[in-house]
Amino acid sequence: MSDKRRIEESYDAQAETYKGAKQLVRMLLRDIKIPPNSTGLDIGCGPGDTTFELYDILGIGSRVTGIDISKKMVEKATKNGCDLGYDGVKFVKMDAESLEFEDNSFEVVTCIFTFQFFPDKAKALREIYRVLKPEGVLGLFFTADKMFMHESFKIFREINGKHPELDRLRHTLDEYESIHMSLEGFIDLMYAADFEGLDFFGRHRVYFVNPRKYLEEHPYPLDIFSAVPVEDREQVLMEVRYEMDRRSDHRGFKLTHYFIQGTARKPS
């Protein structure tokens, strides 16, 4: 189960560098007919990239709200919205498991690279269902399956074995193993929440990355290293990087990615 406080603190620390995957919003909604002047909710908005994309899709006259558990992400998104002139978009700090909106508030809800972090995923889905209008659409894209980036997690485990005193690191690695779910388990949750028109599938890809860039920029290792005491962080980073370099070939370090993506509707 995710530690909300640690996730919040980790993404607070990443607020100035984190980049949202706005192209995924358009990909999820490309075949969805959305009425004009719609209302949208973007859960896990980060610095606002995905929220602005949702607004652009819904069009002028729509109203879109982005929420995030990280206060600094919300502050960054609000500043970005002012700088870019998105008057129809607002940002609020909020927990996805306790949405502070009235029933039947939104035609569209999106959630990109966030659902895996919800400790109570069933509760979050019930809340999303509640705030969606009848015939409203939910678009999800998130990391899933225990095979996700298992190559790097194996190295983190090995290094943690050399430093058994790092209890928080072990706890965080245990947490990451527990938050990812199978496609079948997710579909069961969606049906239990009464969604219909489910169109979800798993997406399995293999990437080859530069270890240094991956460790310095990817949200997952950045979050994991936040569990290592500051005085030990450089040593652990050096050991992890050494092992990733040693196991790389001319293409880089192999990382297996697995995502679940798709859409569903609230019945009319």
pTM for the model: 0.89
Domains and CATH numbers, the chain: 4-265 (3.40.50.150)
Alpha-carbon span 82 to 74, nearest angstrom: 12
- The answer to whether 81 and 106 are in contact (CB under 8 A) is no
Tens digit of pLDDT at every position of the chain (268 positions): 557 776 767 676 776 776 778 889 999 998 888 888 899 999 999 999 999 999 999 998 899 999 999 999 999 999 999 999 999 999 999 999 999 999 999 999 999 999 999 999 999 999 999 999 999 999 999 999 888 899 999 999 999 999 999 999 999 999 888 888 899 999 999 999 999 999 999 999 999 999 999 999 888 898 899 889 999 999 999 999 999 999 999 999 999 999 999 999 999 9
* Cα–Cα distance list, 28 to 54, 122, 153 (Å): 10, 21, 29
